[in-house]
Structure 1
Amino acid sequence: MSKKIAVQGTVAEGFEGVREEFAAVLAEERPGHADAQLAVFAGGRQVVDLWGGDEITGTTLTSVFSSTKGAAHLVVALLVQEGVLDLDREVAHYWPEFAAEGKGALTLRDLLAHRAGVVGADTGFTDEELTDDRVIAERLAAQKPYWRPGTAFGYHALSIGALTGEVVRRATGQSIQEVFEERVRAPYDLDFYLGLPEELESRVLDILPMDPTPEQQAELVAGAVSPQSVTGIAFNLNGERPTDLVAFVNSRPTRAKSPASVGGVATATGLAKMYAVAIGEVDGRAALLKPDTIAEFGQIHSDGYDLVARRRHPFGLGFESYGDLYPALGAGAFGHAGAAGSEALADPRSGVTYGYARRRFAFPGGPAPENVRLVGAVMRAVGEVGAG
């Protein structure tokens, strides 16, 4: 039986259907599951700013797991656009140590497309090591890849931000986190942090672990992987103490250092606004990315069977490709989801950007299933009223 959840916030005229769909999503959640935020920009203006649940507000910050990768790779896209980085240069050109164990020919383009084969380390990492991108990078530079680089792809869940981040550091002398703060977050006053200041900790709600039904629990058990499989290594299940992702992102060291693969903290508005400033004019300021850059990074570079996710999982350059997952979106839509269910994306053809954050880890992990319904409602509204 559904329950009444008060939906708070505002929508622009014509987007009332989005509010109704969001309310329906929250009403279907079990008690204790319904803390979520939804934000949408269209044509550079915010048209949806909603939240609902027991403890969440519109300015509550939550850990957004791999939606962090979108922020990290927006930095890479900017540096490529400016000629600081070259997609077709070998990673080892910037980072000579990376050439060890047969990785010398791998290009930055292939690295961004999750084709490097260094999804983790043979002996795993401690949680303390996983908070430090430079430690991860040093270990993985010496790591033998788990497949021949460039010949296949697999989601580098906990390592891609450290790998691309080391390229950025070698080329600029700054970390991805520092460049994001200086070039993106601070100038646009985004509620999206790669390195959360301690004074903002009071705004954070910890992520709650998944609470599966008995049927869902059986499905999780049936799908369990070996810690020594490529998937297990990619999610750091092969170390002395396998990583608990919820506990990891809920820790102050993770939020403070913000490893560029999973450590970001944001509101839904922060997620959506970041993509809005990337692809279009906001508050009279030109888009961060030029159309050619947007097309290059959003174009599918890896498709087919993902060796880590064990399913089809299309990637652009550092971003997930969304034409199939969200049929309502146009060709070239891109973004990145987070393990607990967050989603952040841009649809360049319509000028729409979208951010969703939820507090409780959604089953089965990755973009929460309700995002399909919510994105559909957003695009129906845009079809009726236009993007502004």
Structure 2
Amino acid sequence: MTDVHGTVEPGFESVRKVFAGIVADEARDGGAQLAVHHRGRLVVDLWGGDGVDGDSLLGLYSSSKGAMALVAALLVQDGVLDLDREVASWWPEFAAEGKEEITLRQLLAHRSGVIGTDGGFTLDELADDRAIAARLAGQRPFWEPDTGHGYHALVIGALVGEVVLRATGRTARELFEERVRAPYALDYYLGLPEELEPRFRTALPMLPTPAQQALLAENPIAPDSLLAVAFDLHADPPLDIVAYANARAVRAEAPLSGGGIGTARGLSRMYAAIAGELDGRPPLLTSDTLAEFARIHSRGTDLVTGEENAFGLGFVPLATRHPSLSAAAIGHSGAPGSQSFADPATGLAYSYTRRRFGFMSGPGAPENDRLVPAVVEAAAKAV
């Protein structure tokens, strides 16, 4: 059996047992980390498996959408951004091809239809949100805006980030660093400093599981599908999603749609700052702001993935995926199968990360279905 390392506070021993079983099952697929905060305390800090320790920095892909949504929520809370204002009022070039009435709310709810470009992007472009935004400004939507929703997998960060830049003169990365990462000393980065690169390389490169490789070989994605457009699989060459996080340009430039690098401990701490008081500071978001961003804005069949899902504003309402959570729970998954969230109703913050991919675009690896209820049950019994 693969060894599990780290600590749990009294009352959370059952979580360690569940995690140990998962790591043993998944050992052939690489290592994993699990961190949980409860009422501002780190109560679970575990890791195990191939190529990972508690300090290994991992490519956490769409976890960065949660960081992006947090920056947007703070700016809405400050009165700097208006959710119902047209994007083109900040960014005039975006009005091309019938996009003049798309609002910031529609962007954040994955309702704009601007999921990619007709010709696709290069990897260098996908590492640079300004390059993505410049291409998207003149792009037609792939469906009539606000008539449905579909996962804006590789572009939502560039779209929202351009609005932030036009409205404030600052990048979302800069604002995240100043208002969130640095004050809370998060081991989670939008833009990995060069000096921290050895901690990424210490964990073996991000790799697909054999199961994922077999699944994609048996079920090729049609290059003219919305799924192909959203994941840049219609480009020449198609995007290699695994190579994405392994590219230094992506780690350095940190595209907001998928460039987050960090540990489970760091990402759980970010959500702990949303879930309640942390280090003597009040929650980052007021109850009103949190309620608006957690409220379901899109629900039903996703036009891109074909799956039934739901979106709030930037964040995913996690109770739709994990019924043991409250309606206030918000977070985001990442392509390797990671899942992270805050549940302010219970004071929980959670982050599960893994080095290898379970699949490409799902809502977090299935082991979260075992871990999340175990964490919720242990927290409910904690004094």
Quote the residue 2:124 is aligned against.
Answer: 128
Aligned partners of 2:113, 2:284: CA distance in 1, in Å?
Answer: 31
Correspondent of 2:265 among 258, 266, 269: 269
Question: What do residues 4-40 of structure 1 show as CA deviations (whole Å, max 9, x unaligned)?
Answer: 1111111111000000000010111253x24110000
Quote the residue 2:208 is aligned against.
Answer: 210
Question: What do residues 46-87 of structure 1 show as CA deviations (whole Å, max 9, x unaligned)?
Answer: 110001113311111001010110011100000000000000
Note closer, same or farther for the CA distance 1:357–1:207 as it changes in structure 2 (3 Å cut).
farther
Note closer, same or farther for the CA distance 1:130–1:364 as it changes in structure 2 (3 Å cut).
closer
> For 1:332, what is the secondary structure of its paired residue?
coil
The answer to whether residue 9 in structure 2 is matched with residue 12 in structure 1 is: yes
Alpha-carbon distance, 1:206 to partner: 4.6
**Amino acid in the other structure paired with 1:89:** R
Quote the residue 1:183 is aligned against.
Answer: 179
Aligned partners of 1:310, 1:40: CA distance in 2, in Å?
Answer: 32
Aligned partners of 1:284, 1:206: CA distance in 2, in Å?
Answer: 37
Aligned partners of 1:138, 1:178: CA distance in 2, in Å?
Answer: 20
Aligned partners of 1:207, 1:286: CA distance in 2, in Å?
Answer: 37
The answer to whether residue 314 in structure 2 is matched with residue 318 in structure 1 is: yes
Aligned partners of 2:27, 2:3: CA distance in 1, in Å?
Answer: 15
Aligned partners of 1:229, 1:295: CA distance in 2, in Å?
Answer: 34
Kindly report which structure 2 residues correspond to 1:237-316, keeping only aligned pairs within 5 A, or say none: 237-316=233-312
> For 1:65, what is the secondary structure of its paired residue?
coil
**Amino acid in the other structure paired with 2:143:** W
> For 1:135, what is the secondary structure of its paired residue?
helix
Aligned partners of 1:357, 1:70: CA distance in 2, in Å?
Answer: 14
Quote the residue 1:332 is aligned against.
Answer: 328
Alpha-carbon distance, 1:222 to partner: 4.4
- Note if contact 2:60-2:353 (Cα within 8 Å) is conserved in structure 1: yes
Quote the residue 2:376 is aligned against.
Answer: 379
- Note if contact 1:63-1:206 (Cα within 8 Å) is conserved in structure 2: no
Kindly report which structure 2 residues correspond to 1:1-388, keeping only aligned pairs within 5 A, or say none: 4-31=1-28, 33-204=29-200, 205-213=203-211, 219-363=215-359, 365-366=361-362, 367-386=364-383
> For 1:48, what is the secondary structure of its paired residue?
strand
Note closer, same or farther for the CA distance 1:187–1:107 as it changes in structure 2 (3 Å cut).
same
Question: What do residues 217-261 of structure 1 show as CA deviations (whole Å, max 9, x unaligned)?
Answer: 554344322112111000001111111011111111110000000
Aligned partners of 2:214, 2:39: CA distance in 1, in Å?
Answer: 44
CA RMSD of the aligned region, Å?
1.3
- Note if contact 2:27-2:50 (Cα within 8 Å) is conserved in structure 1: no
Alpha-carbon distance, 1:278 to partner: 2.0
> For 1:147, what is the secondary structure of its paired residue?
coil
Aligned partners of 1:313, 1:134: CA distance in 2, in Å?
Answer: 29
Alpha-carbon distance, 1:211 to partner: 2.4
Note closer, same or farther for the CA distance 1:217–1:191 as it changes in structure 2 (3 Å cut).
closer
Aligned partners of 1:58, 1:173: CA distance in 2, in Å?
Answer: 36
- Note if contact 1:66-1:337 (Cα within 8 Å) is conserved in structure 2: yes
**Amino acid in the other structure paired with 1:208:** M
> For 2:6, what is the secondary structure of its paired residue?
strand
Note closer, same or farther for the CA distance 1:345–1:326 as it changes in structure 2 (3 Å cut).
same
- Note if contact 2:30-2:51 (Cα within 8 Å) is conserved in structure 1: no
Deviates more, 1:132-141 or 1:49-58: 49-58
Alpha-carbon distance, 1:90 to partner: 0.8
> For 2:342, what is the secondary structure of its paired residue?
strand
Provide the aligned length of Structure 1 versus Structure 2. Answer: 380
Aligned partners of 1:219, 1:248: CA distance in 2, in Å?
Answer: 20
Note closer, same or farther for the CA distance 1:203–1:30 as it changes in structure 2 (3 Å cut).
closer
Aligned partners of 2:158, 2:357: CA distance in 1, in Å?
Answer: 24
Alpha-carbon distance, 1:96 to partner: 1.1
> For 1:314, what is the secondary structure of its paired residue?
strand
What TM-score does the superposition give when structure 2 sets the normalisation length? 0.97
Note closer, same or farther for the CA distance 1:63–1:305 as it changes in structure 2 (3 Å cut).
same
> For 2:46, what is the secondary structure of its paired residue?
strand
- Note if contact 2:208-2:242 (Cα within 8 Å) is conserved in structure 1: no
> For 1:76, what is the secondary structure of its paired residue?
helix
